[in-house]
Chains A and B, each alone.
Chain A
Amino acid sequence: MNSVSALFLDYTFQTVALGSALLGLISGVLGSFAVLRKQSLLGDGVSHSALPGVVMAFVLLGSKKTEVLLMGALISGLLATLFIVGVVRHTRVKFDSALALVMSVFFGLGLVLLTYVQKIPNSNQAGLKRFIFGQASTLLQRDIILMIICGLVLLSLVLLFWKEFKLFTFDTDFAQSLGFSSKKLNLLLSFMIVLAIIIGLQTVGVILMSAMLIAPPVAARQWTNKLWIMVTLSALFGAMSGITGTAASSLVPKLPTGPAIVVCVSIIVLFSILFAPGRGVLYRIYQRRKNKILYKLEGGSPDVPSN
């Protein structure tokens, strides 16, 4: 217990834990909309596709500052999204194939650029590879400030357009018939989701980022039937896993932070799917048992109620 309290007083730990918590919170909120729009895997595509942007930004601007690299990531993430949408719109190739193709090609381009950078004299590219696996321990105070600013912008946009996002996610055609431009809403929401992915990259890396976008909302959905509670819970689950994962990796030697966070959030998902009241797997098994006994007692199967 002593080591735990000592840990929470440690400055480096505070920084990293705060960063991971912020990541969980932001991706929990935006991930809710991605999951409800059935675009869960877009996050996987965007995060893989961010790699060439990171390296490109480094090559062109020669800077390893987080905001520069993330700007590159944002541009190539958006570019990949455009490609995917373009291929789906103009050919008979389906969304999943376009996604898989574009993300793996972009990732390959990222690798090509990385090996190219290695040959540039006097360039230490160690800071770049952290984007593949993520390295929470390299989070600096200024990274946290950047995350806070982006997070605040994203959260206030969600609050501001709450009504519109809810309507648009539930029933796009109806939203359009009420005069809300679905083109504009789609653009805004997609951009916000991509931004949320990008700011999480340096903590958990491109491969695991998709989990942070999908798992918290999936877990939260099991506990409530209200959108605002789902989004709040999702943010909470994300932040909780961020802190727990960071703490676990600080206390246990040789436990990488990103995977530790993902394992935490996955445990929350499995727990929710099994045990959520009124919806979870166990509740349903119990309900089925109870019904069976009831049928037996009453003899034969009961009439199906009309309402």
Chain B
Amino acid sequence: MSPQIEIQLIAVIVAVACALPGTFLVLRKMSMMSDSITHTILLGIVLAFFVTHDLSSPFLIAGAALIGVVTVWLTELLSRTRLLAEDAAIGVVFPLLFSIAIILITRYAGSVHLDTDSVLLGELAFAPFDRMLIGGTDIGAKAIYTSGILLLINLAAIIIFFKEAKVVTFDPMLAAVLGFSPAFVHYGLMTLVSLTTVGAFQAVGSVLVVAFMIGPPVTAYLLTDDLRRMLILSGAIGAVNGILGYQAAALLDVSIAGSMAVVTGLLFMLVFVFAPYRGLISSLLRRRNQKLEFAKTTLLFHLASHEDSEKDIKPDIDTIQTHLHWTAKFTSKIIGSLEHEGYVQLSGNLTNLTEEGRSASIRDYNALFSR
């Protein structure tokens, strides 16, 4: 395999592995917890390194994942005192743990070959240099295997606990009644997030893991309502971001991880603007249509109610305009549209309901108020 293909393969695996637990973070309104964890795992890596003195030791991953869970626990401990808001608790815990990690790294920089830059910012371009050897045979880049295992763990956990995770995400009370422990699912998810962050940081750097965890699920959230579909779509979007990001980075010779984050943002913007139904354009159009429909119904009601109750109010255009506080243009537009549909008849300046108009207003009225 050429290094380029290997890099893209790693990017795709990492992106999909991040998107899966990210979907639940987005749905559970815990996106900023991933930001917190991605910073604090640095401390876990440093501490575990002091014990193992080996950057590729599996204990490093275990230590870092543990610190991720500890971060969540500390944050919740702090916010449970109710002396500060939950978001403030996040903002107190992670800078502290991160600062301790930076201080440790700087103080023991001589003995630690740990580069803060590479942890935070990552460098995917170097991933193919680290080979996986079995009995002296090169079987591909090591990162393919580490991120591959990560993806398998995430996939397995989500497939096995899909039902539980779904119930806890949408209705924690119901989950507790049904006997699924929300705490178990919560900490399970947080362990996955921590593991994934540790596994991904070497490739993309810890800050950008957030883009991979949150970006694809948020994009998918604008396209579907179904959890299963959202998971699959997030994975697919993540994979596309990985490949496009790499291609753009290769073309412009810039940071691969950064470029993947930018593509994530661009793809989101695209979906944000053009998505069917939930996109910006379709929602603006729909709002405009609803406003017109709504104005027409209002006018029908208005005409119908004044038709029999107050004979002194003439249904001429000017009166309507002042009564409903519409602009002249809007009023004539609505009346024109109602006339076109055959609901009102214009005679001179007077707007009279037709028989259809009367029955339409009664129909709308019943539909609205007989809930």
Q: How many Å lie between the Cα of A96 and that of B78 in the bound state? A: 19
- Mark A119-158 against chain B: 1 for CB-CB distance below 8 A, else 0: 1000000000000110000000000000000000000000
Partner-binding segment picked from A164-172, A232-240, A260-268: A260-268
- Mark B267-294 against chain A: 1 for CB-CB distance below 8 A, else 0: 0100010000010100100000000000
Tally B residues with Cβ within 8 Å of A. 60
- For B121, give the chain A residue with the smallest CB separation: A111
A91 CB to closest chain B CB, in angstroms? 6
Q: Are B84 and A107 in contact (CB under 8 A)?
A: no
A64 CB to closest chain B CB, in angstroms? 20
Question: Total number of A-B contacts with CB less than 8 angstroms?
Answer: 204
Partner of B254 from the list A94, A100, A115, A280 (CB cut-off 8 Å) is: A115
Q: How many Å lie between the Cα of A280 and that of B283 in the bound state? A: 48
Q: Are B103 and A263 in contact (CB under 8 A)?
A: yes
Contact A133/B102 with A35-B88, A41-B90, A104-B210 known, Cβ cut-off 8 Å: yes
- For B38, give the chain A residue with the smallest CB separation: A104
Q: Are A214 and B92 in contact (CB under 8 A)?
A: yes
* Residue of A97, A98, A207, A280 with most partner-chain B CB within 10 A: A97
B143 CB to closest chain A CB, in angstroms? 19
Does B265 make an interface contact (CB < 8 A)?
A: yes
Q: How many Å lie between the Cα of A29 and that of B40 in the bound state? A: 27
Q: Are B261 and A259 in contact (CB under 8 A)?
A: no
Contact A105/B261 with A210-B91, A254-B106 known, Cβ cut-off 8 Å: yes
- For B253, give the chain A residue with the smallest CB separation: A119
A276 CB to closest chain B CB, in angstroms? 8
Task: Determine the chain B residues whose CB is within 8 A of the CB of A115 once the complex forms.
Answer: 253-255, 258
Partner of A108 from the list B85, B87, B92, B261 (CB cut-off 8 Å) is: B261
Q: Are B211 and A108 in contact (CB under 8 A)?
A: yes
* Residue of B87, B90, B120, B283 with most partner-chain A CB within 10 A: B87
Does B221 make an interface contact (CB < 8 A)?
A: yes
Does B208 make an interface contact (CB < 8 A)?
A: yes
Does B52 make an interface contact (CB < 8 A)?
A: no
Q: Are A207 and B98 in contact (CB under 8 A)?
A: yes
Does A222 make an interface contact (CB < 8 A)?
A: yes
Q: How many Å lie between the Cα of A207 and that of B92 in the bound state? A: 12
Task: Determine the chain B residues whose CB is within 8 A of the CB of A280 once the complex forms.
Answer: 83
Task: Determine the chain A residues whose CB is within 8 A of the CB of B249 once the complex forms.
Answer: 112
Task: Determine the chain A residues whose CB is within 8 A of the CB of B260 once the complex forms.
Answer: 108
Task: Determine the chain A residues whose CB is within 8 A of the CB of B78 once the complex forms.
Answer: 273
Task: Determine the chain B residues whose CB is within 8 A of the CB of A262 once the complex forms.
Answer: 95-96, 98-99
Q: Are B88 and A40 in contact (CB under 8 A)?
A: yes
Indicate the size class of the contact surface on chain A: 35 or more
Task: Determine the chain B residues whose CB is within 8 A of the CB of A221 once the complex forms.
Answer: 83-84
Does A87 make an interface contact (CB < 8 A)?
A: yes
Does A218 make an interface contact (CB < 8 A)?
A: yes
Does B222 make an interface contact (CB < 8 A)?
A: yes
Interface of A: prevailing SS: helix
Does A208 make an interface contact (CB < 8 A)?
A: yes
Q: How many Å lie between the Cα of A99 and that of B33 in the bound state? A: 12
Partner of B208 from the list A107, A113, A269 (CB cut-off 8 Å) is: A107
Partner-binding segment picked from B23-31, B194-202, B310-318, B358-366: B23-31
Q: How many Å lie between the Cα of A38 and that of B87 in the bound state? A: 7
- For B210, give the chain A residue with the smallest CB separation: A104
Task: Determine the chain A residues whose CB is within 8 A of the CB of B268 once the complex forms.
Answer: 101, 105
User: For chain A residues 82-102, which have a beta carbon within 8 Å of chain B?
Assistant: 87, 90-94, 96-102
- Mark B251-267 against chain A: 1 for CB-CB distance below 8 A, else 0: 01111011111101100
Partner of B95 from the list A93, A108, A111, A210 (CB cut-off 8 Å) is: A210
Q: Are A256 and B102 in contact (CB under 8 A)?
A: yes
Task: Determine the chain A residues whose CB is within 8 A of the CB of B265 once the complex forms.
Answer: 101-102, 105-106, 108-109
User: For chain B residues 77-127, which have a beta carbon within 8 Å of chain A?
Assistant: 78, 81, 83-85, 87-88, 90-92, 95-96, 98-100, 102-103, 106-107, 109, 116, 120-121
Q: Are B255 and A44 in contact (CB under 8 A)?
A: no
User: For chain B residues 294-351, which have a beta carbon within 8 Å of chain A?
Assistant: none
Q: How many Å lie between the Cα of A221 and that of B92 in the bound state? A: 14
- Mark B208-229 against chain A: 1 for CB-CB distance below 8 A, else 0: 1011011101100110000000
Given contacts A109-B262, A111-B255, A115-B258, 4 further A-B contacts (CB under 8 A): A96-B30, A107-B211, A211-B99, A263-B103
Enumerate the 5 nearest inter-chain pairs by beta-carbon distance, A residue then B residue, closest first: A108-B261, A111-B258, A105-B265, A211-B95, A259-B99
7 contacts between A and B (CB under 8 A): A92-B221, A101-B264, A108-B259, A111-B255, A111-B261, A207-B39, A273-B78
